Structure 1
């Protein structure tokens, strides 16, 4: 292992040396263009407070930003061919916008005359006219900060409204009907799954989010995890010089009340940027779950049913704290850190009444389980990062080190009363107490290096990443039905899991004539071991995997572009899915993990066609081996049910999607996203052979209406048709959300009112049919909520931004 690793690192170093030599040898070969000009004014000869923006002419998307010097000179380098706009922003001059500029050679725009402001402005912002949803061939971007309907929501709820994303009854995420999504925050994987992931997303408020990128077919630069793609949540961070901030107060009412204050502060100086935020969330909610379970003999003869009426209530208090700083060590080096803490206390209660019926459909008894749980979650993380431009040729180096700790403690108390058909007690109550404790520690370090190969009009990226994970979960259940508490060894467990993943990658991009080629290869080594302490059972895994990726694009002209992409990806089981401890709902229903789960491996292929840089059509196919499904089915004890993750041999997924924005004048804009997919499940799960398939579709419509210069409205609708998730057959659902926004106080503040799930139709109606067992259920949650929000921007800034690699860094990379 060490020998192989040293050889790989030696090859990595050789590639850097060769690329450096090639750049020096051919540095004088120019394959991109320079766009420059000089600002002039009759009222001033100092222009060092003017920001100059380069925008795409087609949709005014931001490409680059530069700062004019005192003489008014500015220069954009490494600009790709195409049509662009030049815009300026300043407190002392009126905004300027150029006519569309065709860039196919180096351009000097000469003198640009700026007009002085006739009155002092209290705030100046550049409006790049970002739509709520932006589409490109490789990703979809949801601009959450522009959304009226997102007010009062958490990250999980926002994702449920995003095009092509849906959240199932167990709060698992899927993209375009496909599960196995990797979730990142600011480009860093969360390494959480299942309940742990949903709890984290619910603790993150929409007011803290700038945008969300939905990446369906990532390159080798990204972690190979995530069969369905990557969801990257980008948090807000200001880049304005001076001290400024934002205060948001949100109150909501559904069946229960909600309250979320949030404040963010930013202080930026020429050589340092300090940022912080705090959000508190007080949320109460419910889950109303009705279940009918029918049981059959091996000969398929009906022998009884359990009919459940479950009602769950929860109250959660969450504190979310974030702080950090970036220091400009030199004009080309930045050292930064960020820390985040999320602390949640929950009080949850459950009331589960089950009526039992015999083979003649006559009621023969009932049992009532009342529960109360008090989960406490303490999550914290810290990141150290270093960014450097190594030379004027464009070589860059980025290094990140991360540590995250997720701690959980929970006390569970359940009391079950058993009754006859007339409601009379038939035995002493059954009392069960659980003491659950868990710790998850994640350490990771990575380095990314990129260099342009200008002689070949190409770019080379390479990198390395190592991560170390340890989970330690101990669960003790006690039977307190008697005079003393007795440890229930059948329900108790202590599970320790360790995992180490080492990865290296190389990725290349080349553009020539009308073609664009990207090819990459990622090598990952995974070493893991698990220990069930009580049973003294262990398992180990050690394997290598190669993950190639490729993209080929062809641009016919400014209006037509096609692309082909292919990649191999992996979806490892979440730590909770591997953990064999049991989670109880009532004496006959529990969930457990599976330490012998295998990772999913997917091969992903996609074709895309872009029309007029706005309309996007995609065709795709994915084959997944060892598909992970969370299956609810009969257990060994009669009429008992267990939910456990299992591997299914094959899952075939075909999809077609169409995204098209349109406008009516300046007052109405809309984005429509339609996805049709065909999923086919094949394989054996227990005693069941699955061969299920169906054509399903999703429609997402987001509509913005400008009522006046300071008032706007938003209406969004989402429809998910019938579909399968393994043996779970779910019915279609339609959801409508509405909102209105009013800007006040000279646009320094805004009021937003929204109404989510107007018709209270966001509910899950589904059934499962397996050997010996059928289930029908209807689930309703607190999705119908009205929110009122007040947001106020405060502080002073002159609009300067000396950090050239700030919020527009991704756009700069795309322009190279």
Structure 2
């Protein structure tokens, strides 16, 4: 890409933004205006967000950008001679000389066709070399580059390379700022699949962005104590036919294949797009747990081998009825087939106890389908719109497990989720905006469990959430603010049945208010401060309240607790972003006050004191606070880096094994990813991460660290890229822990952390970027500037 053109367009955009803030809507006396419409010369389609730069004797006077229909109007110009430049990336710049006089105050340039710049288009890449981090008023956006794609085959694997995010390598449980109460969205929508499962099913090459929303506004559902992680899948709207193909193989103990295909076709009033991802291969894990409690000593050894295949497909279209009305549809389908085999061997120190060897084989078939319809109406006033969205998803999961007891377990789980959302946005003035919304979420899950082909248990779970929100944004010069609240009516009920046991029930009915507030101060274009507050909730999930045994080993049973109740969190954040000559640096502090925290608990089995039950419980009120800093830095033309560091402190207290326990721990995490450019086509990456020790009420997790090295080489005149990566060079990653309650134990688990990856990406098509306005909820991304969300 011609750097000069990019800088000119960027400058034009900055000028246009300033012009939009400064130019009054009415035409002043003895002043003139310039108007026109910009279209694509080949397709005759209007081009939006095109830079219009007005110059006087080669000096920029003012400017603007085109609207969705390609039109522009620049007012309040002195009656002089000007040069108007129409600039857009991927197109040749057009210049027009005009003269504003007393007799000719209004000049209409009519329709201005822009011609594709074939030279510039050769430099356009679908995927950037390096991932970038952008700090916005309410979220941190990670634009996924080739370095992250090659870091792992799945979403779960690349999450560990993202600031503030950690994924447990054994359970795939995800945490944000040290807390696992985080909500996962796909393209801004909830999913019926457990987060630990969906992260392993999404190929990394299918991901466009990952958004960390640590303090969401009232516009978003308040679920998730530590916030929201939104995974945005690839989607674009380039004119013509365009696409890319990604293929990669990871070599650990066995090879694992990761492939994806993305395409879109944009012509006239239609934009059709789709992508497909495949992830398949075997995973090997192993571990041990030592029980050191006097009189109950044992050694448990675990071996796991999983052979999983996941297909993820997304297809959709946008139909532009006219300049003001758009209908969009997409459907996502995820098919997952897994086969697992495990061996658990228990060696008792007491010779009077018989050692145990348990074999377990299981098959898991999961099919999830999502359908989304969206209609957006733009009113005459810019930014004034209303949007109706209907989203339906269904999850059908079947599991067949065989134990060496012998015993067979056959489980079916069917979940449905219907979301209806209505959003209304009205810019009350140039500096104020009102947002209103209504939402209905209807969810239900049905589960049936057969043991040795005989009915054993079942449960039904229904949850309905009805909500409304209102937010008001205002900007005063260098200050901007937003305040809002979400009103939510929530009711849930469940019925658990099991043979030879009394039926268990769960019921919850709440009407709650969730306020939020943001204040932003930007003294200049290099410094920005942001203060925010939000109230959030974590409601017990199905697995957390289900008293029916979820899984078991010879020594541990896992089950839920139907007596759980929601936990509420008040979250405060202060962030500061500094733009320097070498990049941007964002630092921040946060504080959370947690009421009735839900946590994992381990206690003795009342029917057998030698065994344990893993469940959930509400603890007392707790506090957590921390500090973060991250930066995108270009030290040299040939060396750039993404660096992050975070430290958080948590004070937790509760009852464990009938004993009051309180812990106070500070955990440190750091990550750095370096990109070196020895030549125009060659890129080298060296990255490392360190996760400090963590202390819970029952266990202490030991530190974890690893170092990776990768490279990429561009071929085929920029259309192809070969990538390679060697992960965990020193084979240092493992999960080690020790604890004393309710029994003295220590253990360690290892997986295929040390691996080699090689991949190839090919981009095709002759289309060009068209910056049409995507519907806002498609990415759940803030629009506007400052505090105007």
TM-score, shorter chain, exceeding 0.5: yes
SS across alignment from 2:544: helix
SS across alignment from 2:160: helix
Among 730, 734, 751, the residue aligned to 2:705:
734
Instruction: Tell me what 2:331 maps to.
Output: 339
| Inter-partner Cα distance in structure 2 for 1:37 and 1:704 | 45
Among 337, 345, 351, the residue aligned to 2:343:
351
Quick check: 2:90–2:116 contact (8 Å CA) kept in 1? no
Structure 2 CA distance for partners of 1:784 and 1:64, relative to 1, 3 Å: farther
Instruction: Tell me what 1:572 maps to.
Output: 539
The range that moved more, 215-224 or 609-618, is 609-618
Deviation at 1:514, TM superposition (A): 2.1
Q: Residue by residue, what CA displacement relative to the aligned partner does 1:201-235 show, whole Å, maximum 9, x if unpaired?
A: 11101110011011111110111111101111111
SS across alignment from 1:255: coil
| Inter-partner Cα distance in structure 1 for 2:691 and 2:779 | 35
SS across alignment from 2:299: strand
Q: Residue by residue, what CA displacement relative to the aligned partner does 1:640-687 show, whole Å, maximum 9, x if unpaired?
A: 122112211222101011223322221111122111111110122451
| Inter-partner Cα distance in structure 2 for 1:120 and 1:575 | 56
Quick check: 1:603–1:623 contact (8 Å CA) kept in 2? yes
Among 448, 460, 465, the residue aligned to 2:423:
448
Q: Residue by residue, what CA displacement relative to the aligned partner does 1:594-621 show, whole Å, maximum 9, x if unpaired?
A: 2222122101011222223722221111
SS across alignment from 2:217: coil
Whether 1:161 and 2:161 are equivalent positions in the alignment is yes
Quick check: 2:496–2:546 contact (8 Å CA) kept in 1? no
Among 644, 658, 663, the residue aligned to 1:692:
663
Quick check: 1:148–1:714 contact (8 Å CA) kept in 2? no
Instruction: Tell me what 1:60 maps to.
Output: none
Among 238, 241, 246, the residue aligned to 1:240:
238
Deviation at 1:155, TM superposition (A): 0.8
Instruction: Tell me what 1:102 maps to.
Output: none
Deviation at 1:561, TM superposition (A): 2.8
SS across alignment from 1:746: helix
Instruction: Tell me what 2:222 maps to.
Output: 224
| Inter-partner Cα distance in structure 1 for 2:51 and 2:117 | 26
Among 440, 443, 452, the residue aligned to 1:466:
440
Quick check: 2:187–2:779 contact (8 Å CA) kept in 1? no
SS across alignment from 1:244: strand
Structure 2 CA distance for partners of 1:745 and 1:385, relative to 1, 3 Å: same
| More contact order relative to length (CA 8 Å, sep ≥ 6) | 1
| Inter-partner Cα distance in structure 1 for 2:117 and 2:503 | 79
Whether 1:678 and 2:649 are equivalent positions in the alignment is yes
| Inter-partner Cα distance in structure 2 for 1:371 and 1:666 | 55
| Inter-partner Cα distance in structure 2 for 1:454 and 1:315 | 58
Structure 2 CA distance for partners of 1:513 and 1:766, relative to 1, 3 Å: same
Unaligned residue ranges in structure 2 (runs of 5+):
1-23, 53-62, 76-84, 96-106
| Inter-partner Cα distance in structure 2 for 1:75 and 1:439 | 54
Structure 2 CA distance for partners of 1:805 and 1:502, relative to 1, 3 Å: closer
Structure 2 CA distance for partners of 1:165 and 1:746, relative to 1, 3 Å: same
Q: Residue by residue, what CA displacement relative to the aligned partner does 1:420-449 show, whole Å, maximum 9, x if unpaired?
A: xxxxxxxxxx31221111111111101111
Among 615, 634, 645, the residue aligned to 1:644:
615
Instruction: Tell me what 2:81 maps to.
Output: none
SS across alignment from 2:589: strand
Among 447, 460, 470, the residue aligned to 1:506:
470
Q: Residue by residue, what CA displacement relative to the aligned partner does 1:701-726 show, whole Å, maximum 9, x if unpaired?
A: 12111221111122221111111244
Quick check: 2:130–2:145 contact (8 Å CA) kept in 1? no
| Inter-partner Cα distance in structure 2 for 1:382 and 1:310 | 40
Quick check: 2:132–2:632 contact (8 Å CA) kept in 1? no
| Inter-partner Cα distance in structure 1 for 2:763 and 2:626 | 43
Quick check: 1:218–1:230 contact (8 Å CA) kept in 2? yes
Among 741, 753, 768, the residue aligned to 2:724:
753
Q: Residue by residue, what CA displacement relative to the aligned partner does 1:271-324 show, whole Å, maximum 9, x if unpaired?
A: 0111112222212101211111234xxxxxx22212111100000111112111
Structure 2 CA distance for partners of 1:640 and 1:665, relative to 1, 3 Å: same
Instruction: Tell me what 2:507 maps to.
Output: 540
Quick check: 1:136–1:616 contact (8 Å CA) kept in 2? no
Instruction: Tell me what 1:791 maps to.
Output: 761
Structure 2 CA distance for partners of 1:38 and 1:668, relative to 1, 3 Å: farther
Matches for 1:206-225 after TM superposition, within 5 Å? 206-225=204-223
| Inter-partner Cα distance in structure 2 for 1:233 and 1:804 | 16
Instruction: Tell me what 2:197 maps to.
Output: 199
SS across alignment from 1:198: helix
Deviation at 1:68, TM superposition (A): 11
Quick check: 2:191–2:393 contact (8 Å CA) kept in 1? no
Matches for 1:408-419 after TM superposition, within 5 Å? 408-415=397-404
| Inter-partner Cα distance in structure 2 for 1:212 and 1:316 | 24
Whether 1:627 and 2:602 are equivalent positions in the alignment is no
Structure 2 CA distance for partners of 1:149 and 1:725, relative to 1, 3 Å: farther
Superposition CA RMSD, Å: 3.5
Instruction: Tell me what 2:274 maps to.
Output: 276
Q: Residue by residue, what CA displacement relative to the aligned partner does 1:434-472 show, whole Å, maximum 9, x if unpaired?
A: 1111111111101111111107x2111110111111111
Among 400, 406, 418, the residue aligned to 1:431:
406
Instruction: Tell me what 1:372 maps to.
Output: 361
| Inter-partner Cα distance in structure 1 for 2:445 and 2:166 | 29
| Inter-partner Cα distance in structure 1 for 2:316 and 2:35 | 36
| Inter-partner Cα distance in structure 2 for 1:742 and 1:188 | 36
SS across alignment from 1:582: coil
| Inter-partner Cα distance in structure 1 for 2:622 and 2:86 | 49
| Inter-partner Cα distance in structure 2 for 1:245 and 1:148 | 20
SS across alignment from 1:217: coil
| Inter-partner Cα distance in structure 2 for 1:76 and 1:790 | 47
| Inter-partner Cα distance in structure 2 for 1:53 and 1:314 | 51
Q: Residue by residue, what CA displacement relative to the aligned partner does 1:97-131 show, whole Å, maximum 9, x if unpaired?
A: xxxxxxxxxxx9x9xx9999998677352799975
Deviation at 1:414, TM superposition (A): 1.1
- TM (norm. structure 2) is 0.84
Instruction: Tell me what 1:595 maps to.
Output: 562
SS across alignment from 1:500: strand
Instruction: Tell me what 1:327 maps to.
Output: 319
Deviation at 1:141, TM superposition (A): 1.7
| Inter-partner Cα distance in structure 1 for 2:42 and 2:182 | 54
Whether 1:476 and 2:454 are equivalent positions in the alignment is no
Quick check: 2:544–2:562 contact (8 Å CA) kept in 1? yes
Deviation at 1:74, TM superposition (A): 5.9
Deviation at 1:46, TM superposition (A): 12
Aligned residues: 716
| Inter-partner Cα distance in structure 1 for 2:732 and 2:432 | 51
| Inter-partner Cα distance in structure 2 for 1:694 and 1:615 | 27
